[in-house]
């Protein structure tokens, strides 16, 4: 340290100088934002900085900022624009324009607009756009302008492209906002279409209403037809159901009657067989009882004979030497007593046998009398069997007809369906069925008797002529056929 200044002071001064230099450099550095271009002019000629920065030397250099943002403004000429039809229209549009991104276009735009304000720049661009718009409108009709706005916008962009490119700009979009006229040409232009559309709408509405009314009427008619068919099917089903129920009830009654008849026949046969078997058993019991009594009487006789023999032996043993007369008398008395006892025993046995034979004879005669009565009855029926059949059939006529009509007595309700021709088909069916049932009765009689009805009634008249009068004497039974025979 020659001058006597501390080293740290020197270091501090150097640091301060560095900081000052850095601050000066920082203050001289200019940066370009993403939406702008930095145009530097001066000592080092003109240069454009986009998306970066540069040091601008003071006094010898300066810079300007050119905006690269999208510019949007209205294009609405104050004067009327005339179409190729001579119709004055007012057109309002919106244009969007920006500086192109290449350095040549940026330098061109800088030359054109860098010294102007945004309002002045937009005024210049608007004048160019309105001039081109006037020329394009003069080439088109009102209908094309109104109905094809995209075509107008495309032609506008294509026509303006060359002029704006010369200014370093580009047309991003051009949109027609409104087209109007003072003479209501546009309004009147749409009236035919409006009238046609309204007319088509009215016609379509009327047709829709007509179709709706037709569909509604068809639906109502189909609904009414379906309901009528459903009612008819329901009535027919109810009628068929009631008919089936009546038939089932009739078949049940017939089966019941057949079953009862079979039971009665079997019961009668069983009762008759039981009665016959009872008589046979009574006869067998009576015969066995007579045999038992006969055996008992024979045993009694044997006992009495044994007793007599015992007494005889006892007399012989106790009185061996009595007088011969006394012996003979005793033998005579013994013989007489024995004979009397034998006679009594035989009389008692014969009486018992006679009683059994009499009871058996009574049973036999009773059965024989019943058999003879049945033979007499059979012979009598054989003599006038056809008359008896006719009498049974005729007297059974009410019961047969009542049995045929009995299913109708259980019918609670009959529904009659009219076919619309003035005839009640249900009532005719019922009366016709009853007539058919009644007409089957003669055929039933003929099937049971084996003869025609006319022959049966002729037989009835013939039998009536042969029948006995009240004053005629009663006919005697055939010989050998009486109950007491």
Question: Using the 8-state DSSP alphabet, how is residue 130 labeled?
Answer: H
Contact 181, 103 (CB under 8 A): no
Nearest to 290 by CA among 363, 357, 347, 366: 357
Residue 170, classed as helix, strand or coil, is strand
The pLDDT of residue 22: 82
* DSSP per-residue codes, 37-105: EEEEEETT--EEEESSEEE--TTTEEEEEEE-S-EEEEE--SS-EE-TT--EEEEEEEEEEEE-SSHHH
The pLDDT of residue 270: 81
| CB proximity list for 40: less than 8 A, separation 6 or greater | 30, 46, 47, 48, 49, 54, 56, 61, 62, 63
The pLDDT of residue 352: 61
Residue 286, classed as helix, strand or coil, is helix
Contact 253, 406 (CB under 8 A): yes
Tokens of 413: 């309700």
Mind listing the pLDDT tens digit for each residue in 66-96?
Answer: 888 888 888 888 888 888 888 888 888 898 8
Contact 407, 250 (CB under 8 A): yes
Q: Compute the C-alpha angle 451/452/458, nearest 5°.
A: 95
How far lies 311's CA from each of 303, 344, 364, in Å?
A: 12, 19, 46
Q: Compute the C-alpha angle 259/262/265, nearest 5°.
A: 150
The pLDDT of residue 415: 63
Task: State the residue for tokens 């529904």.
Answer: 415
The pLDDT of residue 401: 66
Q: Compute the C-alpha angle 136/141/146, nearest 5°.
A: 90
In this prediction, the residues of the chain whose per-residue pLDDT falls under 50 are 1-2, 383, 468, 470, 474-485
Nearest to 179 by CA among 91, 93, 95: 91
Give the sign of the dihedral formed by CA 354, CA 359, CA 363, CA 366. Answer: positive
The burial class, CB within 10 Å (0-12 / 13-18 / 19+), for 40 is: buried
Q: What share of the chain is helix, strand, coil (3-state, %, to 5)?
A: 70, 10, 20
Task: State the residue for tokens 């016709």.
Answer: 432
Contact 83, 140 (CB under 8 A): yes
Mind listing the pLDDT tens digit for each residue in 161-210?
Answer: 888 888 888 888 888 888 888 877 877 776 776 677 777 778 888 888 88
The pLDDT of residue 176: 87
Strand arrangement of the beta sheet that strand 61-67 belongs to: 47-50, 36-42, 61-67
Alpha carbons within 13 angstroms on the beta-carbon side of residue 312 total: 16
Nearest to 301 by CA among 353, 341, 339: 341
The pLDDT of residue 476: 42
- Taking the C-alpha atoms of residue 126 and residue 123, their distance in angstroms, rounded to an integer, is 5
Tokens of 357: 């034979």
Tokens of 437: 């049932």
- Taking the C-alpha atoms of residue 326 and residue 349, their distance in angstroms, rounded to an integer, is 34
- Taking the C-alpha atoms of residue 300 and residue 362, their distance in angstroms, rounded to an integer, is 29
| CB proximity list for 35: less than 8 A, separation 6 or greater | 67, 68, 69
- Taking the C-alpha atoms of residue 302 and residue 426, their distance in angstroms, rounded to an integer, is 95
- Taking the C-alpha atoms of residue 363 and residue 382, their distance in angstroms, rounded to an integer, is 28
Tokens of 337: 């007593």
């Amino acid at each position: 340290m020659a001058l006597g200044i501390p080293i740290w002071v020197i270091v501090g001064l150097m640091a301060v100088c560095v900081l000052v230099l850095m601050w000066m450099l920082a203050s001289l550095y200019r940066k370009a934002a993403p939406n702008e271009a930095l145009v530097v002019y001066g000592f080092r000629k003109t240069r454009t900085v986009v998306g970066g920065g540069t040091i601008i030397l003071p006094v010898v250099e300066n810079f300007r900022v050119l905006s690269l943002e999208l510019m949007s403004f209205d294009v609405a000429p104050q004067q009327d624009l005339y179409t190729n039809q001579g119709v004055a229209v007012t057109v309002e549009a919106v244009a969007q324009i920006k500086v192109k991104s290449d350095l040549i276009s940026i330098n061109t735009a800088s030359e054109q607009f860098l010294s102007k304000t945004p309002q002045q720049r937009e005024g210049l661009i608007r004048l160019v756009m309105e001039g081109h718009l006037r020329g394009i409108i003069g080439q088109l009709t009102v209908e094309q302008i109104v109905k094809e706005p995209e075509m107008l916008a495309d032609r506008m962009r294509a026509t303006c492209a060359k002029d704006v490119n010369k200014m370093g700009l580009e047309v991003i979009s051009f949109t027609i906002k409104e087209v109007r006229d003072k003479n209501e040409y546009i309004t009147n232009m749409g009236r035919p279409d409006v009238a046609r559309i309204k007319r088509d709408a009215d016609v379509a509405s009327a047709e829709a209403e007509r179709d709706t009314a037709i569909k509604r009427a068809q639906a109502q008619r189909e609904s009414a037809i379906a309901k009528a068919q459903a009612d008819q099917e329901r009535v027919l089903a109810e009628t068929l159901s009631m008919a089936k129920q009546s038939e089932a009830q009739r078949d049940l009654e017939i089966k019941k009657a057949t079953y009862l008849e079979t039971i009665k026949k079997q019961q009668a046969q069983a009762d008759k067989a039981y009665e016959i078997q009872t008589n046979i058993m009574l006869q067998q019991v009576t015969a066995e009882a007579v045999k038992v009594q006969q055996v008992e009487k024979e045993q009694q006789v044997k006992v009495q004979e044994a007793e007599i023999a015992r007494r005889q032996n006892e007399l012989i043993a106790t009185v061996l030497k009595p007088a011969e007369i006394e012996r003979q008398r005793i033998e005579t008395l013994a013989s007489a007593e024995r004979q009397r006892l034998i006679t009594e025993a035989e009389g008692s046995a014969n009486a018992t046998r006679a009683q059994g034979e009499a009871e058996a004879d009574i049973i036999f005669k009773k059965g024989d009398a019943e058999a003879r009565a049945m033979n007499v009855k059979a012979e009598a029926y054989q003599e006038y069997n056809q008359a008896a059949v006719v009498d049974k059939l005729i007297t059974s006529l009410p019961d047969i007809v009542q049995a045929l009509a009995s299913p109708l007595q259980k019918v609670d309700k009959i529904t009659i369906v009219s076919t619309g021709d003035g005839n009640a088909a249900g009532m005719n069916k019922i009366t016709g069925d009853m007539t058919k049932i009644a007409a089957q009765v003669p055929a039933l009689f003929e099937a049971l008797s084996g003869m025609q009805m006319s022959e049966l009634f002729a037989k009835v008249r013939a039998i009536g002529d042969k029948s006995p009068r009240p004053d005629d004497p009663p006919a005697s039974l055939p010989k050998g056929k009486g109950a007491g025979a």
